[in-house]
Every structure is written in C-alpha cells, then in structure tokens.
Amino acid sequence: MKAIITVLLLLSSLFSLPVLATEQTDMKLILDKNGIKIWSYRLPDSPFHGFKAVTTVKSTLSGVVALITDTESANRWLYRTNEVVALSQDDENFVVRVVTEFPWPFKNREAVVAGKITQDPQNLFVRIESSSVANHAVRAGYERMPKVEGGWLFRPLGHGQVEVTMTGHAELGGYVPAAIVNLLIQEHPYNSLLGLKKVIGETRFQTARLNTVREPVVN
C-alpha cells in the first residue's frame, strides 16, 4: 500500500497549477531534513491534503527551468517516475504525458497536463503553471488520473542560489483511503527534491540559456 500511495503522489506535483496562489494559513510543518522543509495543508473541498516543499540549490534560474522541462531526464530525479513524454513544447508552453508504474494488480497511471512558463519582470521569480487536460485519449492498459494539480516557483536569492518551492494536490480516483495518503504525503516531494539537488549541478543544466528566462544581474 505504501508503494502505491507514493506512486500516486508523484502525479500531484510534476508540473504546475498555482495551488498556493494565496498562501495557506493552516499549513503544518511535517518534515525538516537535509535542507528540505515540507508542510501539509487541508483543502475545503477535498479529503486529500496538499503539500508545500521548499529547498535551496546552487544553480542559475535557467538551470532549474531546464531541468524541470527536460522530459528525458525526469525519471532520473522525480520519485517513482516511469516516463514523461512531451506531446508538444516550445519556449513557454508545453503539453506532456506522465506515466507512473503501479504494482500488480493495478494499471499504470497516466496524466496529461498543459502549462506555461512565466517570469515576473520585476523580481525575476519564475513560475511553471499547468493543469491536467482531458482532450487526449487514455491509452490501452493505462488508467487516467482524474485531477492533478501542482506548482513550481523559483526565486533567485543571490550568490548563485535559487529557492525552489514545489506544491501539489491530487484527486486520486478509485478507492484509496485519504488517511493513508495524507500520512505519507511527504515522501514524493522529499525524494524528488533530493534527486533534483543531486543532478542540478550537471554542466548541461548550468550552461543552459533560455529565451524566456532572465538571470539576475551580478554586481
């Protein structure tokens, strides 16, 4: 059961919808380990909790955006990811199919999300915002997640540091006890951010230059 729940949680935060567009006031700190803090919070219309996870990495802004949007690298750091396939993608917009492997006797899950990358021209914060879409057929042998929401926010801190914020919430479909999901909610964001911290320093990410991302001026 624990393996099933952590696989389900992957889909709640791969890409982004602004779940924390307004800051939650009832967030509870549930994990503070290895430079990663994770909070959970309740939503009024769902038995499943949402989460917010924060860490800091040494990277350019372009580097973290390049990693997040590199679908071929997703299974190297996103926890329990089978594959992420770009259905369409340009500098600002994307549609991707996310597949996670489930243990027998469950079908593998898939979700299709469409989104947009934006940057605030004043503070240079970068957001990746997306939402699940239903205009793609479910492939044979897979089960579609009915609703997936999540978020990424990258905030430059100076001195080559970027604060990474990850948020997520999902309606899982089928019979999965909300109490168990809520109990294990920290596993996906924690292990994914650990994975991100391990690969973000690679040259191909730190030398990436993106047309839609402006770096802070170094004095």
- pLDDT of 115 reads 82
> What does the alpha-carbon distance between residue 182 and residue 31 come to, in Å, rounded to a whole number?
13
Name the burial class of residue 60, with classes exposed (0-12), middle (13-18) and buried (19+) by CB atoms within 10 angstroms of its CB. buried
Predicted confidence pLDDT, tens digits, the chain (219 residues) = 444 444 444 444 444 334 444 456 688 999 999 999 999 998 888 887 889 999 999 999 999 999 999 999 999 998 878 888 889 888 888 888 888 776 666 677 788 888 889 999 999 999 998 777 888 888 888 878 777 777 899 999 999 999 999 988 776 656 667 787 778 889 889 999 999 999 999 999 999 999 889 999 876
Domains contained in the chain, CATH given: 2-206 (3.30.530.20)
What the block records as the tokens of 112 is 């299709």
Name the burial class of residue 44, with classes exposed (0-12), middle (13-18) and buried (19+) by CB atoms within 10 angstroms of its CB. exposed
CA distances to 6, 25, 66, 110, 160 from 145, rounded to whole Å, are 14, 28, 26, 6, 37
Instruction: Give the β-pairing of 46-58 and 83-89.
Output: unpaired
- pLDDT of 99 reads 81
- pLDDT of 174 reads 60
- pLDDT of 79 reads 85
Query: Is residue 97 within 8 Å of 71, Cβ to Cβ?
Result: no
